[in-house]
Structure 1
Amino acid sequence: MIEDEGQTMRLFYTGNFKEPGKHDFIYEGRWASQITTTTHDGIHFTPKRVVLLPQDYPDYVSCHVRDPKVWIRDNGDGHPFS
Structure 2
Amino acid sequence: MLSEFERRSLDQIEHQFRLDDPLLDNRLAVGRARPMPTTVLAIVFGVIGVGLLCLGVIGAALGCFGMVSVLLLLRGTTWR
Q: Would you tell me which structure has more helix in proportion to its own residues?
A: 2
TM-score (norm 1): 0.18
TM-score (norm 2): 0.18
Q: Which has the larger radius of gyration?
A: 2
